[in-house]
Structures are given as C-alpha cells and as structure tokens.
Amino acid sequence: MADVSETVNGNLFDNAMEDMEKAGEVANIPVESLEVLRKPKRILQVTFPVKMDDGKIKYFEGYRVQYSDARGPTKGGIRFHPAVCLDEIKALSFWMTLKCAVVDIPYGGAKGGITFNPKDHSLSEIERISRSYIRYIHKFIGPRIDIPAPDVYTNPQIMAWMLDEYEKIEGHHAPGVITGKPIDLGGSLGREYSTSMGGAYILKYMKENTDIIPDNPSIAVQGFGNVGLHMSRILSEWGYKIVAVSDSRGGIYSKDGLDIKNLIAQKESKGTVVGFSGTEKITNEELLELDVDVLIPSALENQITKHNASNIKARIILEMANGPVSFEADKILHKAGKTVIPDILANAGGVTVSYFEWVQNLNGFYWIEDEVLFKLENVMISAFKDVYGHVERFKTDYRTAAYIVAINRILSAEQLKGSL
C-alpha cells in the first residue's frame, strides 16, 4: 500500500491555470483558444454507502473529472486520501491532459479520487469502498471512454478489485478499462517502476547530451514510495550517487552516498529509511535545501513554495511528484538560474507504460519487458527533445516549454474537430 501521510492542496488548480496563461503569452496563443482548456469537460461527484466491518453503513465521497478528450479517451489515476477534493482532482486531471500530450500518446486527461484515509480501514473495507465507487462511476468509464489507474494510496490489488467489479457489471472481460493491474490480470511488465524509469532516462539523456548536469552528480530524493524508491534504485544501479532520501518519518544523509540496496531492505522490514546505519538524520525541509546537484521531489504537492524556494541549492530539480513546486516558487527558482524539469514531462513514464498496457490489452498480445523499456525510452527522449526545442526557440523555462508543446497539440486536435 502506498504511504502518503499528508497532501497539501494549496490552490493547485489556480496554479495550473497561471502556468497555462504564462505559456499562452510566451507562445502568442490567442487567449480565446485557451478557453477550451480553462474548464473540465465533465465532472462526476458521487456519494455512496459502504458497509463497515462492524455492520454499520458509512457514506463516502468520490470524484471523477474528465478534463479533455480532444486527443483520445481520458486517462488518469484514482487517489485515496483524506485531502482529496474537487480542486485537487481538477488540477490533477488538467495535468494528465497535458502530460499525455507532451509524450504524444493518444489520450485525453482525467483523474479520480475518494476522500478517506485507507490507513483507518481494514483491507476488506477498502475492497468494498473500491467496488462501490466503481458501481457508481461505471457508466462513465470504459476502455474507449475513460481509463483509470493507480495513484497515491491505490495499488495493483485495488485495480484488480475495480476491474472485477466493472467486468461483473458489464458481463464480459474488459482488461483495457483500467491500467496498473497485476500482471496476472493483464498488467504490463515494467509498469511498476515505469514512472521512475522514465525520469531516469531523461536525467541520463541530459547528462550525456547537455552541459546542465555535471560529472558524478550528487542527488537527493524526497519520498521513498513507489516513485522515490525505484528512482533511487535505478540511479544507484546506474552508478549515480544518492546522498539523501526521506519518507514521511524524516530523512537520512551521507555525503559519500547511500547503499540503496540495503536501504530498500530496511524500508521493507522497518517501514522507514530513518535510522539507516552510517547516516545522519535530517528533516524533510533540510533534505530539500541540501547542497546537491540534483533534487528529485518524489512525494507530495507544494513542497517547494515561496517560503523555501530561495533556500534551494540544487542546480537541477526533477519533478517526479505531481506539483511539488508552486507557481511562485517556480519563478524564484528560474530567476536563481535553476533548471526545473516539470512533472508533466519528468513523471510521464507511468502513463506511457499504462498506455502500452492498454494497447496490449486491446490486442490480447503481450510484450517482453525489454520491448516495453525500449519503447518507453524512445517516447521519453523524443518528448524531452520536443520540449528542449521549445526552451531554445522561446528562450523560456522547461515548464513553460512543456506547456506550449502540450497546449498546441491539444488545440490542434480541437481545431481539426471543429471545436475551435
């Protein structure tokens, strides 16, 4: 089970809209054209009853926002978290729309969520909550309509229950309705670590082909869940030096680099990275402000804000979490000459392999892991080159450039359909 203790919403959707306006100005996109991207196409809010283990009925609130389907069926994860609210799901569905367009996969964007803390519930209650949510939204999803996936606090087992519920209602197999499934139910090889692998491919490409990343860079990773753990594992296997990592209980630092393999073993046995031998304990705030070459936020939204942005010393920030840098902080970092590789590019490896999973499901023909990774690397590098080209052309930052790439692709689809 994923392990996020706190999600800070801030004004995520307003931030996202400000980023879009900025991209529009830089690329001279007519203000009227952006209208189509200022609001979601469909918002579904549901309230549903679930029987708890003690026999009592409890009501839960859930959402599914389908932001844009201009480029294909909508796609995006389902989050279980006490801080889930419409503003957050709207922002996340907007980012999914842009993310799918940046990596040029034929999807629109969506996101869903249920407002509750799974840590307060038994596994059987979580199963009933997941199944009930699907009963309430099943008419609005489908392999050619809207395809959910895991997000914070949801995992392949939960996807399996959701798929089963959907198939029971529909009366036939439909593995393409949901991605991030267990391999035995049609999941794709490589999906589990694909988000991290996609970000790692970008970092490696930048190191080999640009002068932004120095030799033997020092790296700090915030978060040691699905994304942070695999990111640390892959980079250390490739010979990179990870000097600090953290989870919700705090962080650890060693200037000579951490033994990630043994650290993963400790995380699995003790549930935290804190207390790993030969390391200094640091706070999450201190981790963000370490003097490293690359900082990789892989936990939550709004971690770098106007309050701490001027203390960030890392030269490169690779956003593996969604929305870890606020709009104001982004401006401060840019002014200070930092390079921020935005979430909609950096963490798009997950949705890319979700797309591969869906393609395999629709064809009933499954690929070997090497084929998945080969195709993933091509998609990520090609997206990086597109964004880099726009950085150069518009003399702008990577986030604005990625927004321009995505917005232009979405607006082109809307125009071709006659909606613009």
Catalytic residue, candidates 75, 90, 99, 111: 111
**Beta-strand pair 57-68/42-51:** antiparallel
Binding span for ligand NAD by CB under 6 A among 33-41, 53-61, 221-229, 236-244: 221-229
Q: Which is nearer to ligand NAD, 247 or 377 (CB)?
A: 247
User: Which listed residue (213, 321, 345, 404) binds ligand NAD by CB under 6 A?
Assistant: 321
Q: Which residue is nearest to ligand NAD (CB)?
A: 225
Virtual CA dihedral for 186, 187, 189, 193, nearest 10 degrees?
A: 180
CB-based contact 116:129 (threshold 8 Å): yes
Q: Which is nearer to ligand NAD, 137 or 227 (CB)?
A: 227
User: Which listed residue (347, 352, 360, 396) binds ligand NAD by CB under 6 A?
Assistant: 347
Distance, in Å, from the CA atom of 100 to the CA atom of 91, rounded to the nearest integer, reads 14
Distance, in Å, from the CA atom of 137 to the CA atom of 222, rounded to the nearest integer, reads 34
Contact residues for 69 (Cβ-Cβ < 8 A; gap 6+): 41, 108
Q: Is 352 in the site for ligand NAD (CB under 6 A)?
A: no
What is the nearest approach in angstroms of ligand NAD to the Cβ of residue 272? 8
Q: Is 220 in the site for ligand NAD (CB under 6 A)?
A: no
Active site residue 111: yes
Binding span for ligand NAD by CB under 6 A among 164-172, 182-190, 294-302, 390-398: 294-302
Q: Which two tokens stand for residue 308?
A: 């701490």
Footprint on residues 177-196 left by ligand NAD (CB under 6 A): 195
Binding span for ligand NAD by CB under 6 A among 28-36, 40-48, 232-240, 318-326: 318-326
Footprint on residues 227-286 left by ligand NAD (CB under 6 A): 227-228, 246-248, 284
| Total interface residues for ligand NAD by CB under 6 A | 27
Sign, CA dihedral 99-230-391-285, equals positive
How many secondary structure helices (H) and strands (E) does the chain include?
Answer: 14, 12
User: Which listed residue (68, 115, 298, 361) binds ligand NAD by CB under 6 A?
Assistant: 298
Our CA angle for 329, 75, 369, nearest 5°, is 95
User: Which listed residue (80, 107, 133, 224) binds ligand NAD by CB under 6 A?
Assistant: 224
Distance, in Å, from the CA atom of 344 to the CA atom of 363, rounded to the nearest integer, reads 28
Binding span for ligand NAD by CB under 6 A among 17-25, 118-126, 219-227, 333-341: 219-227
Q: Where are the beta strands (DSSP E) in 184-231?
A: 218-222
Q: Is 113 in the site for ligand NAD (CB under 6 A)?
A: no
Distance, in Å, from the CA atom of 376 to the CA atom of 190, rounded to the nearest integer, reads 10
Distance, in Å, from the CA atom of 360 to the CA atom of 229, rounded to the nearest integer, reads 27
Q: Is 93 in the site for ligand NAD (CB under 6 A)?
A: no
User: Which listed residue (290, 300, 312, 405) binds ligand NAD by CB under 6 A?
Assistant: 300
Percent helix / strand / coil, the chain, rounded to 5: 50, 15, 35
Q: Where are the alpha helices (DSSP H) in 47-155?
A: 86-102, 123-137
Sign, CA dihedral 175-179-185-186, equals positive
What is the nearest approach in angstroms of ligand NAD to the Cβ of residue 286? 11
Binding span for ligand NAD by CB under 6 A among 28-36, 208-216, 297-305, 381-389: 297-305
Q: Is 223 in the site for ligand NAD (CB under 6 A)?
A: yes
User: Which listed residue (350, 399, 411, 413) binds ligand NAD by CB under 6 A?
Assistant: 350
Annotated catalytic residues are: 111
Which positions touch ligand NAD (CB under 6 A)? Answer: 2-6, 151-152, 195, 222-228, 246-248, 284, 298-300, 320-322, 347, 350
